[in-house]
Structure 1
């Protein structure tokens, strides 16, 4: 599935970000989430079944399930207008696993780009936990984070990988700086959100 799966994940996250920003209808977006989620659950099961069963092969393929079940869960929650608390707590569980994947990428594989990418995904899943598990009203904020990540961590890496450019030192170094810039942007909009919340509480 590899690069094609990343590309489709980028599309799904892009649509989800637009929904959170109030630019797309929830049930319309739900359809795409269900489609991509189903693919990213069915295909990894097959790939694991026919793989060499090496622990690192299974470890790598299993990470696709984190996305697949998230998209399925999001799609069903939106389509059926379900309470999102279950999805929120599931997102917290995935956020913890994403931090572990980040640590393994850095320590075992010495892959700084993958480590930073997994940390970004962990942050996004944690935001979904805050929104749906803890009922924080931060949809617009999450939409902005998801918009950046849909391109930076999924769409562009998939395209660069399919064109054979992703593994070059120049791209890898550039992506480290892009990732750091993204974290700085997230910190900036977090401060803005806190200031806005404080101002609202003051005049409430």
Structure 2
């Protein structure tokens, strides 16, 4: 548990050291811990989704998936963990295919997927904080209408939400770019391109479900 905690904290707050860390941990069960880290974030989102469902609230922004609006957070709580894992594996597979297509001689799927998992932690962490904040406000008795009004009107609440979203996207993209480029599977420019496409696809998949 301590190793997993250190792994998550290191990946979230010092992502520029991911490549160095990955080189040292190639045979120490890193892939399993990377998977456990994603499961941890999935559980965190599931918990806050359950809170929002239990307080009788529903998404304040349009949904994409054909799930019932009133029970959306129940479905989100159920689906978020497998959704994270399947999205991660899909992005990892496509990123490996792209690296091989642009000239990489050999790419270990386990090493690449572990690299991507660590890179995605900052995105998930900063994205979860507003989710947690919303759940706390609902627990304190805030109504759906009050939450929508508070979020839609310019002020500290809206600014904080936007700051968390910008931080999630920027740190996630930066972490993915630095980590993939640092592994030196292909030239730096091609590594950047692979990382950017991988992160864009990853964030798109997450935003399809997460509300």
Provide TM-score, normalisation by structure 2. Answer: 0.38
Query: Greater relative contact order: 1 or 2 (C-alpha under 8 angstroms, separation 6 or more)?
Result: 2
Instruction: Give the number of the structure whose residues are more often helix, by fraction.
Output: 1
